[in-house]
Structure 1
């Protein structure tokens, strides 16, 4: 990722195109993630409680320990890699350090908290449904923000670095 720091990304059109396509792919991932969430629940705590604790009216059993474990096993790895990749790209931008640290920390925290919230609703107390709704929104916001910040940094016009022979005055 030295190409961000050294300014080489202005000369690496193919690499820029690959990263921008990757960001577009991640944008589709964020949309599909939201669609999956809204397929099962909405932004009300009652829908979250119904999803995790079951519903007699809808003949839906509570989520089992095994099903939560399977989802968590995959999500903890995949979301960790996703956030790590996006934060790594963000660290190479020229954005202020406070923004990089805040957005990176928020992304990791919201991903872990979102996963934990389902367990807490199911096995601790339904009041954690508020946490599930909030962390879902926070995770979606942080992912979209990371995608936007990295993408904007790639397409933003900056002065091209001067060739080395012109810098020496020859």
Structure 2
């Protein structure tokens, strides 16, 4: 017979695992939704809105990867997300540079250096393609979603 403290400890670990799974799977789903919206027609959204939808998608995909690995970023800027992600997953140098370059288009998290510049059609195309690469990485990393029967019977 198990002691009640062992039962409680096991129950808490199971609850933490489910909570963690709920977080990363929610972020993965939300990343897909933002990406779908970010593929929107030009006449529906201007480039500033598309940029922000794609930025949210990027953030959600990175958060899914981090959450799946029980990790969190220092902050939610592109730089912080990439820095945190690279501790777990090696990124292609060009992909990294692309994201960090596009971050300079809207640096809105700083009180001193608030920056918003025009987002070009080319910026949107490049960001959308980069976010698709992050979606691919998230799909590869978050394996449980694809094969729960194999992992957990």
Q: TM-score range by the shorter chain?
A: 0.3 to 0.5
Q: Which has the higher helix share?
A: 1
Larger radius of gyration: 1
